[in-house]
Structure 1
Amino acid sequence: MVTVKEVKIDGESIHVFNGSIYIFESSSGYTLELDIIVSEIVEKKYKLEENLILEIELEDGRQINSIMHSQSISGGLPQLNLYCELDTLEEYQDFKMVNENDLVFPKIEEGITLEDIRKYEMPNEKVTLKLKLPIDQSEWLNKLKGKELAGIVKEAIYDYWEKHKMK
């Protein structure tokens, strides 16, 4: 079975938590498919891009360089499904073959949790809060820079979370 060692998208190395590369056979032809579990940040960055330049290094040392297309795939973990059309199967004889009638796709989510992914790379979300505070606290907060304020709120939430999550 062919195993992916490293993936670069548009020249940037990305961390792959798990993945599978295979040939998808349909009535319209063959496509090379790459399904990978990535961080939420990587998924957000690339999932809407139409054309991506991929450099895929396989465990056996082979390199695949191709322009691939992204398509949405449903699942619980952040992932990318990338594909490109194939004219010939000569180079891919040892790749797993998936037929459109079988629909038995490789299971790449097993053994990985969202918590594992977020330990590696935690995404940040912009949050807007409306609070009613005493004027002195309000004035003090308005003097802080955004990064300082974010750090204070983050620390306060983590402290509160640690005290109350086990109860």
Structure 2
Amino acid sequence: MSETADAIMDAAERRIRDAGYDGFSFREIAVDVGVKSASVHYHFPTKESLAAAVARRYTERFMAAIDKEMAGGSDVVGAWIAAFQHALRSDGKMCLCGALGATSGNLPNEVLVEARRFFELGLKKLIGGGLSQAKAMRVMAILEGAMLLANVLASPVAFEEAIAELS
């Protein structure tokens, strides 16, 4: 990817994590990046293709962070907690795929496929780390819900309180 494409994806990610799929336009992304709207369209012909690419990149980055935590000695739940805590501390925004998933009924199929992939891969990693499917789903639901609470309440402490039973 070019630097411009990366900058476009970074801007789209910030906006999606703030306001979901409907929370951005190509015009806004162009302003954020300092390029013409035609440049955004050149790199990503449609809003769907941009959002799908952002979700795909986010998923790869997030799963790599989980793998790194586990390679450093964390158990699978601890790795997921650390990844969510890092996301909350570093930018205080929602999980990108959680933000997309909240409106999954209205997402274009190309974007829904990528958001669903995040959750499917996540559950697979949790189960691969020794959790039952039911426990993996609870962990994922608690982490996503805790992040939502922390954002809505503007309180990182809410996240810590909500996940206390996981640690």
The interval holding the TM-score normalised by the smaller chain is under 0.3
Alignment TM-score, normalising by the size of structure 2:
0.28
**Structure having the larger proportion of residues in strand:** 1
Report the TM-score when normalising by structure 1.
0.28
More helix by share: 2
